[in-house]
Amino acid sequence: MCGIIGYLGGREATPILMESLKRLEYRGYDSAGVAVLELPKNGAATRTSVTKSEAKVDTLIEKLNANMPTGKLGIGHTRWATHGKPTYINAHPHTDCHGKIFVVHNGIIENFAELKAELKAEGHEFPSETDTEVVPHLIEKYYKGDFLAAVRAALNRIQGAYALAMFSSDDPELLVGARLNAPLVVGLGDDEYYVASDITAIIPYTKRVLVLGEGEVAAVTPLGAEVSTLDGVTVKPKIVHVDWDVTQAQKGGFAHFMLKEIHETDEAIANAMRGRLTDDGLVAFREFEASEEELKKLQEVVLLGMGTSLHAAMIGEHVLEDWVGIPARAMDASEFRYRRPTFGEHTLSVVITQSGETADTLVALHQARERGALTVAVTNVIASSAARDSDGAIYLHAGPEIGVASTKTFNSHLISLYLLAMRLAQANGRISLERRRELVEALRALPDQVRTLLGRDKEILALAHKYSQYRNFMYAGRGLGYPVALEGALKLKEISYVHAEGTSGGELKHGPIALLDEQFPVVAICTASSTKEKMVSNVHEIVARQAPVLALVSEGDSSLNGVATDIFEMPAVEEASSAILNTVMLQLFAYHVATKLGQDVDQPRNLAKSVTVE
C-alpha cells in the first residue's frame, strides 16, 4: 500500500522521483505527488515546488514535464486512501502552516484525531482530511532550529504505523526517513542517497540498501546516512546487498507483469529448493537453524497468513500433518490477533507473507513470540520486518513480484512449506529414506512440468475466452484441491471483477449448490488424490443442476468424459506437486479471462501489493 521515494544527491531529483514512482505503481494507489526543494536563482529565496495528481502517476508526470522543478532534494508518493477520498488536496506530500516542512507517509496514525484537535486549538490549519497532515504540523510545533530534533519529538507523540520521508526548506542538505510498523529503506549510492518504501523503486540506482528497524530514524546528508532511535541513540545500521537485477523488475516482452511472473514460476520454485535439498531428501535452511532437539520438542505447527498466503497455509497444514504427523493449524492472521492463543513453547509458528510487512501478520507473529513459540517467517524480502522479528527465515528467492495479484510467490511459498515439512519429518524420524527420495524426485521434476504446462497457454486461452461470458463462478476441490480452489477463485475475482467463490466438494451440497444453474459454471479440481472419486461424484451432482463444468483431471483419466462440459488434462503427479501445477493453470485461466474483459491485471482496483495497515 502506498509508495515512498526520496532523493538527495548531485543529480536533478525530479526525473529520479518520476521513474521511481512508476516502479512503485504496482503496490496499488489512487493519487500521487512530489515535492522538490528548488535551487534559488538570482538571489531569490529557497522554495519548494509541489506537484500532485488525483489520478495516475502518468498524469503527475505530464504535469511535471510541463513545468519541471529543478533541485537536488525531493520526495514523492503514491497514495492508497485510508483517511479522506483520493483528491488533489488529500494527495501527498503534506506541509505545515508556513510551507517549509514537507512529508510523505505510509501507514495509519491512530491518534491523529487527538493530535489534530490539540494542534487546531493552537492555531494550526488543516486543509486535507488525512491523518498524515498532523505530522508536518506536529514537527512545526516542536521546531526550534533543529529539524531532526523536531522530527524525533513529533514521532514520540505518534501512535500507529508509519514510514515517513521528510525535509525542511530551512535544511536543504537533510533528508529524514523514519519507520514504525511499516517498511522503509535507505539506498546508498555514489554520493547520492535514496529513501524508499520498497527496494524495487531504487534497484536501477543502487544495490546497497540500509534497512531501518522499528522506531528508527535515518538522517541523510551529503556525507552519508546516520541511524538513531527516537531518543537520539545512535544505531549501527544494517546494510544488505540486493541481488535482484533491474531487468527482473521490467516486463521483458510480456504484455503484463502478471503474465511474466506466471512464466517465471519454474525458475522461482527451482530457486526455493536450490542449496536446501539433498538427493536423500535432507533439508537445511541457512537462515533457520533450529536444532534437532528444538524441532523434536514441537507438538504442533500454527501457520499464519492472509489472502493468498492463507491459502498457502491451508496447503501447508495438510502436508505437515501428513508428512510430519503432528497437528497443524492454518489461521487467518487478521482474526488470530483478536483471539486468546492456546499454544506455547512447544509450538512452531510459521508466518507466511510475501512482503514480510503485512500488518496483521506481524501482529500475530509478535503474539506468537510472546507465548514462547518458536517462529519462522516464510517471505520473499530479505531483512523485512517478519524476517527480522522471527527466530528464523525461509526466503523464497523468487525475485521481485510486481503484479499486485500474487502468482509465482504463492508457489514458492508452497515449495518452502514442503521443505519445512520434510525438515520436521526428518527431525522426528517420521519419514523413510525411500519416501524422502520419492519426494525429492517429485519436487525436482516440477520446474520442467511447469514449463510444459506454460507451453499449453493457447489451450488455456481458448477455455478462458469461452468462459469469459459468465459473471459468476464456483471453484470446488477436496483435500489439497480445496485451498487450490479458493486460490483460483481469488485470482479470478481480484483481477477480472467477476464474482467467484471457492468451496470444498463436501460442503457444496450444504448450501453453495443452491446457486448453480446453466449460467453459473463450476471449475472442479479432480486431479489424482485420495479424494478424487468423491470429487467425481460431486461433479455429477453439479451437472444434474445444469451448471457447466470445467474439470481439471490427471492425464489419462476418463472418469468425467461425457460428463464435464470441458476437460483439461494435467500431469499425473504427487498430490503436493499437483497443487502447484493446478494453481499455475488457474492463474493463467484468470489472467486470460481478465484480459478478455479488458481489465488492468497488474493494478486491480482497490487492491494493494503489500497491506501494511489493518
Range 521-539 average pLDDT = 96
Q: Which CATH superfamily is domain 457-596 in?
A: Glucose-6-phosphate isomerase like protein; domain 1 (3.40.50.10490)
pLDDT at residue number 611? 60
pLDDT at residue number 397? 85
Label residues 286-304 b or e (16+ Cβ within 10 Å = b). Answer: eebebeeeebebbebbbbb
Range 164-188 average pLDDT = 93
* Active-site option among 2, 116, 207, 526: 2
- In the predicted structure, residue 610 carries a pLDDT above the cut 60: no
pLDDT at residue number 612? 52
pLDDT at residue number 355? 86
Q: List pLDDT tens digits, range 354-366.
A: 988 888 899 899 9
Classified as helix, coil or strand, 251 is coil
CATH code 3.40.50.10490 region(s) in the chain: 257-454, 457-596
pLDDT at residue number 247? 57
pTM over 0.85: no
Alpha-carbon span 381 to 233, nearest angstrom: 27
- In the predicted structure, residue 291 carries a pLDDT above the cut 70: yes
Q: How many C-beta atoms surround the C-beta of residue 122 within 10 A? A: 9
- In the predicted structure, residue 27 carries a pLDDT above the cut 80: no
pLDDT at residue number 326? 95
Cα–Cα nearest to 208, from 225, 229, 222: 225
Alpha-carbon span 377 to 394, nearest angstrom: 6
- Is CATH 3.60.20.10 what the domain over 3-247 is classified as, yes or no? yes
Q: What are phi and psi of 69, to 5 degrees?
A: -70, 145
Q: List pLDDT tens digits, range 53-72.
A: 988 888 999 999 999 999 99
pLDDT at residue number 377? 96
Range 177-184 average pLDDT = 88
Q: What are phi and psi of 176, to 5 degrees?
A: -115, 135
Q: List pLDDT tens digits, range 325-368.
A: 999 999 999 898 788 778 888 999 999 999 888 888 998 999 99
* DSSP secondary structure letter of residue 488: H
- In the predicted structure, residue 249 carries a pLDDT above the cut 70: no
pLDDT at residue number 55? 84
Strand order in the sheet with 328-332: 328-332, 300-305, 347-352, 374-379, 392-395
Fold of 257-454: Rossmann fold (3.40.50)
Q: What are phi and psi of 582, to 5 degrees?
A: -60, -40
pLDDT at residue number 45? 67
pLDDT at residue number 614? 53
pLDDT at residue number 344? 83
Q: Is 458 designated active site?
A: no
* Active-site option among 260, 493, 532, 609: 609
Range 164-174 average pLDDT = 95
How far is it between the farthest Cα atoms of the chain?
Answer: 84
- The overall average pLDDT reported for the chain is 92
Q: Is 97 designated active site?
A: no
When pLDDT is cut at 50, 70 and 90, the band that residue 42 belongs to is low
